[in-house]
Structure 1
């Protein structure tokens, strides 16, 4: 987890130049009472129990089919609740089965590498769409949420094992497409199917493995995709009005 920063008797850093300010944005909700996330997790559990199908959108957020309607889990609180559950116990409590087999890792009752891999998207969907993830931000929120923590003296930190985590941007998004509004040369906006890999990342490859830095890259890439979808899902009428 790196080197601990020396503190004085009052708990202040001896050398403040060694510290880095962390902007938490929406993730500050992680400091709220646990009942806040518990309530939102209950709402997700209700959807899971009644869903007849489950899939993901281009960013990897969960999409449930309930009574013939698609319901995307886009609430930051609900995504943070899912993230916390997966990273703490490796399962969504009270849910023992989901349609199909692709999401069995979420209900298998054990913490596995699949939970770690899947959780990055949920953390991304919980944060500010326009912020930029840092390793410090993720380490801080994990510690605050009590995820896999260790304590040395008065310092409590999250000690997650990322050694099995692998991320490759092209593997994750190379074949992913999404229909968004694309501005034409005449100024109009037309629904168009585009490549996430090309439009969001410019076709630039990136890969990391085995570290918090690798996990941060995965979460940041997912955040960028969420932001892209959010920006270009806006109705044409609103986009045209804002351009005048």
Structure 2
């Protein structure tokens, strides 16, 4: 199960493979080893690339002993274990085995022993399991995003308090009781994530740069007083960093609202989505991996690809300069009103330095003590920070108001009309409109023209 290259659980499977029930009662047909064999914490470097151990194997096949070397990953053990090969000791509370102990985890064919699988740290993908919907669903969600931005009601696109793309309505739209809103649908955020990593602002989302002239500060700059820079004037390196900042926000919005995002979750998300694919906005790292052909038991090689975020850096500058006003109900008036308690930075609250607010807000904290700042570890840190900010604001949305920057609401610079799809003599209810059901029930709920409808989605 821990071979260096595993098949994505989105691949087509044989009829004989097991039917498993995933979250929300959804069923898909998969090979259990392909689905769950990879969903364990494994040892990685700061770029998110697995650390591989060269394991010798020996297996009898058609009365011939086949021998070779395969590359296997190193799992995080939750306790010391004893396998048929010997004792594997890890620190109390768990850890990665010593390099010399790795062969004790595997049998002669390169399969982990059962006792290993019983003592590994599993990964709960949670709502990120939405990517099982498949690429065609993400493609439709991406078009919904474009339609919502291009329905004539959006004057500017900015980033909100947790980095998401945020639609600023025109004055005319506000008069129609339409509200400013972010892309908050998990599936739509994952669709944007995939597109940005593939093409940046030079593919389906080019209108953000060309029409809306989206601009922003890079989240790692030391001087936040610098003016925001339009993407069209950014260098390639700056644009790649800015796109990564947006992608971290997309991952946070697509994940569960509580808990901690980990590097393993994001790396598996990329693998399941086929990232990097044939096109990538970032450099790509290629790694040759030796595997065991399960049919003829011969050693073979495959090439695994990883996004190279070596140049990525992250600090919490954005949260130092993102302000929210805390308010409470003033019941001394009739009718009652709100009264402001003060304005705080998100950083101060999440750092735990606003103790006077704990009774009102509950306890909110960063789940990662300090930014790792670099590479995929830094990207994970940023995505997790965004999850905590999202939970903070949404968990207290009646009593916490984000201080938006000044915006221009005069007119909309972008109009989009999707090409009408033709399904010929397709029966009603069949074909592309019949999507895989997910817990993304409110995606596209903007209340604007071109929306698929639905109510407002909370993250409580």
TM-score for both structures, normalised by structure 1: 0.78
RMSD: 3.4
User: Would the alpha carbon gap of residues 190 and 138 (structure 1) be closer, same or farther in structure 2, given more than 3 Å must change?
Assistant: farther
Q: 1:19 Cα shift?
A: 4.8
| Aligned ranges 1:1-244 → 2 under 5 Å | 1-4=49-52, 5=72, 12-13=111-112, 15-16=116-117, 19-49=120-150, 50=152, 51-66=154-169, 67-68=173-174, 69-91=179-201, 92-93=203-204, 95-96=206-207, 97-102=210-215, 105=231, 112-148=240-276, 152-153=289-290, 159-169=306-316, 171-181=317-327, 192=341, 193-202=343-352, 206-234=370-398
**How far, CA to CA, are the matches of 1:156 and 1:32 in structure 2?**
26
Higher normalized helix content (fraction of residues) = 1
Provide the secondary structure at the position in 1 that maps to 2:267. Answer: helix
C-alpha contact (below 8 Å) 1:54/1:98 kept by paired residues: no
Q: Which has the larger radius of gyration?
A: 2
Provide the secondary structure at the position in 2 that maps to 1:37. Answer: helix
Gaps of 5+ in 2: 1-48, 53-71, 74-105, 217-229, 278-285, 292-301, 354-365, 401-460
C-alpha contact (below 8 Å) 1:142/1:158 kept by paired residues: no
User: Would the alpha carbon gap of residues 37 and 105 (structure 1) be closer, same or farther in structure 2, given more than 3 Å must change?
Assistant: farther
Q: Deviations over 1:78-123 (max 9, x none)?
A: 11111111112223516432423406649x9x88232123211111
User: Would the alpha carbon gap of residues 157 and 145 (structure 1) be closer, same or farther in structure 2, given more than 3 Å must change?
Assistant: farther
Q: 1:191 Cα shift?
A: 5.5
User: Would the alpha carbon gap of residues 210 and 80 (structure 1) be closer, same or farther in structure 2, given more than 3 Å must change?
Assistant: same
Moved more, 71-80 or 83-92: 83-92
Gaps of 5+ in 1: 237-244
Q: Deviations over 1:143-178 (max 9, x none)?
A: 101112657355775512121111111x12101112
User: Would the alpha carbon gap of residues 102 and 183 (structure 1) be closer, same or farther in structure 2, given more than 3 Å must change?
Assistant: same
Q: 1:234 Cα shift?
A: 4.4
**How far, CA to CA, are the matches of 1:124 and 1:78 in structure 2?**
12
TM-score for both structures, normalised by structure 2: 0.44
Q: Deviations over 1:1-38 (max 9, x none)?
A: 13233676887435547853111111001122112211
Provide the secondary structure at the position in 2 that maps to 1:118. Answer: helix
Moved more, 219-228 or 64-73: 64-73
